[in-house]
């Protein structure tokens, strides 16, 4: 039997590795730019098994790895908001862990709470990217331009389908995963 701390540390690391690999698999390219992928899924699954702290840590580290493997930095605030903060925010989905676990394993409520958790994480991640867009366009576009609209269109166009796909996938994967490899 291993120490839970070491096991969680390794789970965070392998979650980051899987998120990086899933980011390489682009399911769809949106017209305004941005790719739909399942990169959020491992972070959400970990957050829903282990709670928000490991979820936030995994998200922040995934942001750092994304930066290390191919950084696109156009502004110092965008650097913080689009990488460590956006993905760390995703891990906040873990505040729903007990609600998801406490719900009936075969009932609707478990699916509902999973969807609510994914929505919470995705909305927070979107908020970080949206703010980053506001900062970026606010810095580089002249006054009077609808910067919020650019940011909303760009970030919303890929975040919404990705979040829906992740909610469905998380609801499908979590019950058999918890049964096969219980989070000790």
Judged by CB under 8 A, the chain residues 103 through 142 that form the site for other proteins are: 136, 139-142
Output the smallest distance, CB 179 to other proteins, in A.
11
Q: Under the criterion CB under 8 A, does residue 149 sit at the interface with other proteins?
A: no
One of 87, 117, 172, 175 touching other proteins (CB under 8 A): 172
One of 71, 98, 102, 105 touching other proteins (CB under 8 A): 71
Cβ distance to other proteins smaller for residue 6 or 106: 6
Instruction: Please list the residues that pair with 35 across neighbouring strands.
Output: 29
Q: How far apart are CA 183 and CA 48, in angstroms?
A: 10
Q: Under the criterion CB under 8 A, does residue 31 sit at the interface with other proteins?
A: no
Cβ distance to other proteins smaller for residue 107 or 176: 176
Q: Under the criterion CB under 8 A, does residue 88 sit at the interface with other proteins?
A: no
Q: From the DSSP assignment, how many helices (H) and strands (E) are in the chain?
A: 8, 2
- Other beta carbons within 10 angstroms of residue 113's beta carbon come to 20
**Using an 8 Å Cβ cutoff, are 58 and 47 in contact?**
yes
Backbone Cα Rg of the chain: 17
Q: Under the criterion CB under 8 A, does residue 69 sit at the interface with other proteins?
A: yes
**For residue 159, which of 133, 141, 139 has the smallest C-alpha distance?**
133
């Amino acid at each position: 039997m291993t120490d839970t701390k070491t096991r969680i540390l390794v789970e965070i690391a392998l979650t980051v590795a899987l998120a990086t690999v899933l980011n390489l698999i682009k399911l769809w390219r949106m017209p305004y730019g941005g790719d739909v992928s399942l990169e959020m899924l491992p972070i959400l699954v970990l957050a829903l098994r282990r709670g928000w702290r490991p979820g936030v840590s995994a998200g922040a580290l995934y942001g750092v790895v994304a930066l290390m493997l191919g950084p696109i930095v156009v502004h110092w605030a965008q650097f913080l908001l689009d990488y460590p903060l956006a993905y760390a925010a995703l891990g906040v989905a873990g505040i729903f862990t007990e609600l998801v676990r406490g719900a009936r394993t075969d009932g609707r409520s478990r699916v509902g709470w999973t969807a609510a958790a994914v929505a919470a994480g995705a909305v927070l991640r979107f908020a970080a990217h949206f703010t980053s867009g506001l900062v970026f366009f606010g810095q580089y576009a002249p006054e009077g331009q609808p910067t919020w609209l650019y940011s909303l269109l760009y970030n919303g166009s890929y975040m919404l389908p990705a979040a829906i796909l992740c909610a469905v996938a998380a609801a499908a994967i979590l019950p058999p995963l918890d049964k096969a490899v219980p989070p000790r």
